[in-house]
Amino acid sequence: MGARGTPATAMVAKAKVEHRIHEYHHDPAAPSYGLEAAEQLGVDPAGVFKTLVAEVDGRLVVAVVPVAARLDLKALAAAAGSRRAVMAEPADAERATGYVVGGISPLGHRKRLVVFLDESMRDRAAVLVSAGRRGLQLELAPGDLARLAGATFATLISPV
Kindly state the average pLDDT of the residues 99-119: 96
| pLDDT for 87 beyond 60 | yes
Domains of the chain by residue range: 7-154
pLDDT in tens, 29-86: 888 888 999 999 999 999 999 999 999 999 999 999 999 999 999 999 999 999 999 9
Other CB atoms closer than 10 Å to residue 94's CB: what's the count? Answer: 17
Spatial separation of the C-alpha atoms in residues 90 and 13, rounded to whole Å: 28
Percent of the chain with pLDDT over 90: 89
Average pLDDT over residues 114-136: 96
What pLDDT, in 10s, does the model give residues 9-25?
999 999 999 999 999 99
> Which pLDDT score, from 0 to 100, does residue 3 have?
46
Tell me the CATH number of domain 7-154, given options 3.40.50.720, 3.40.50.300, 3.90.960.10, 3.40.109.10. Answer: 3.90.960.10
- pTM (two decimals): 0.94
CA distance to 5, 21, 31, 98, per residue, from 39 (Å): 23, 16, 12, 26
Three-state secondary structure string covering the chain: CCCCCCHHHHHHHHHCCCEEEEECCCCCCCCCHHHHHHHHHCCCHHHEEEEEEEEECCEEEEEEEECCCCECHHHHHHHCCCCCEEECCHHHHHHHHCCCCCCCCCCCCCCCCEEEEEHHHCCCCCEEEEEEECCEEEEECHHHHHHHHCCEEECCECCC
d(CA 68, CA 118): 13
Residue 26 amino acid letter? H
Using 50, 70 and 90 to split pLDDT, how confident is the model at 113?
Answer: very high
